[in-house]
Amino acid sequence: MYLDEAWRILVANRIRSLLTILGLIIGVGAVVAIQVLGTSMAGAVNGALGTFADNTFIIFPDATQRNVRQAAIRLSDLPALRAIPGIQDALPIEQFQDLVRVGHNVARERIGAEGAIPFNNLPAIYGRIISSSDVALATDVCVLPYDAYTHLFPQGGDPTGQSIYVGPHRYLIVGVLSKPKQGFLNANFGGGGISIPWTTYVRNYIRGDSIFAARFVTADASDIPALELAVIAKLRALRGGAQGLAYQMFDKSQVTGSINGIFNAITLVVGLIGAVSLLVAGIGIMNIMLVSVAERTREIGVRKAIGARRAQILWQFFIEALLLCSSGCMIGMLIGLAIGGFVNAAFIVRLTGTTVAIPFAQAFGIAAGFAVIVTLAFGTYPAYRAARLDPIEALRYE
């Protein structure tokens, strides 16, 4: 009864109702859209980086510094770096491209150095990955990534036991990795090519001492920030205490952290915009409810004359405000979900290759929460005014 009367009033004044809730629609729409994007972005980042091992980090010299040559990491540094407490392994990151041949098939592929603890946690669909004895013995074996496998074995089938030829070198295929997710975050250095044991790579391909970058494996992922600093300090010490040498680091939590940081900032700004627009919308709703109470003074008088108690009048206008606010918030939620869903599908999924479920429950929670808060904050006073009217004066009102 209260609800269908409220609905009748709102529909009878549909233009006014729509204009009144416009602010709510925009405010809730913005907040819900950013919520959807934030959730899917965070999910996408985690999904894309999911295969990058947690307990590993990379150090490389800053290429913009004046003494790049002096800063370069050297193979001969690795034993000292491996000796830092907490570091389990240190290995070079190096790769090159060359023609790779299997039987009559030839393809241009990347060949990279790999350790027993891989850069990417991709499972093998055939055979195995590089083992620690491969590294220890510098065996001539290789593991194919999925794309190289499809180039070299278009007919499919288990290729383990066959060999690939790269220039004068021959490598026994011991495994094939599963297909990685497609996305910009997977375009990482060191990963993605045909892997050979890094010791084999050093023997066959590295002529000098300096290497592109070094990768470190730690016992515990939470030690990474401290160990990164320890490694850089050690490198500077090895260069005779040259404090000016600049190094950069890369690890999973750093990437997720910086992307999440950007999103948190955006969320904060949009949240503030949303809060301001909700405040403005709330004032608009209060204004229109006061107008409505004034217009219907006589009706309120009649209702009181025929026996409506204060609480019943209060409730009627409160329900009307609630209906107004919830329609605004629900429309805003749908628009927010549509915008968020579209941007998610059109950009985030395409860029990162990760699909994240749209957070419907959260969006509904935001919309319902705003509806209740705005109603309570801005609908209570007009309803109270209506309930408090003197029936005689109200009946006399023209």
Which residues make up the interface to another protein (CB under 8 A)? 1, 5, 8, 12, 298-299, 301-312, 391-392, 395
Task: Quote the distance between the C-alpha of residue 381 and its chain's center.
Answer: 42
Q: Tokens 């034993």 correspond to what residue?
A: 79
Question: In terms of Cα–Cα distance, which of 270, 226, 233 is closest to 80?
Answer: 233
| 144 and 178 Cβ atoms separated by less than 8 Å | no
What are the percentages of helix, strand and coil residues in the chain, rounded to 5?
Answer: 60, 20, 25
Question: In terms of Cα–Cα distance, which of 247, 224, 249 is closest to 88?
Answer: 224
Residue (187 or 306) nearer to another protein, CB: 306
Residues composing the chain: 398
Residues β-bridged to residue 142: 173
**Both structure tokens of 224:** 């990474």
Nearest distance, CB of residue 385 and another protein, angstroms: 15
Residue (9 or 34) nearer to another protein, CB: 9
Task: Quote the distance between the C-alpha of residue 328 and its chain's center.
Answer: 29
Question: In terms of Cα–Cα distance, which of 267, 229, 327 is closest to 14?
Answer: 327
List, in sequence order, every beta strand (DSSP E) within the chain: 56-61, 73-74, 87-93, 95-102, 105-114, 124-127, 141-144, 163-166, 169-177, 194-197, 210-211, 213-218, 247-251
Residues β-bridged to residue 249: 59
Nearest distance, CB of residue 20 and another protein, angstroms: 19
Nearest distance, CB of residue 9 and another protein, angstroms: 8
Q: What SS3 state is found at 52?
A: strand
Nearest distance, CB of residue 312 and another protein, angstroms: 6
CA 29, 33, 34, 36 dihedral sign is positive
Q: Tokens 């392994």 correspond to what residue?
A: 89
Cβ neighbours, 10 Å, residue 300: 24
Residue (16 or 309) nearer to another protein, CB: 309
Residue (4 or 104) nearer to another protein, CB: 4
Nearest distance, CB of residue 388 and another protein, angstroms: 9
Nearest distance, CB of residue 293 and another protein, angstroms: 15
Residue (110 or 385) nearer to another protein, CB: 385
Nearest distance, CB of residue 268 and another protein, angstroms: 45
Rg (CA), the chain: 33
Residue (108 or 298) nearer to another protein, CB: 298
| 391 and 306 Cβ atoms separated by less than 8 Å | no
Nearest distance, CB of residue 392 and another protein, angstroms: 5
Residue (1 or 361) nearer to another protein, CB: 1
Question: In this structure, what are the phi and psi dihedrals at residue 187, rounded to the nearest 5 degrees?
Answer: -80, 60
Residue (98 or 299) nearer to another protein, CB: 299
Residue (9 or 142) nearer to another protein, CB: 9
Burial class (CB in 10 A: 0-12, 13-18, 19+), 197: buried
Nearest distance, CB of residue 357 and another protein, angstroms: 41
Nearest distance, CB of residue 298 and another protein, angstroms: 7
CA 16, 3, 294, 26 dihedral sign is negative
Residue (3 or 269) nearer to another protein, CB: 3
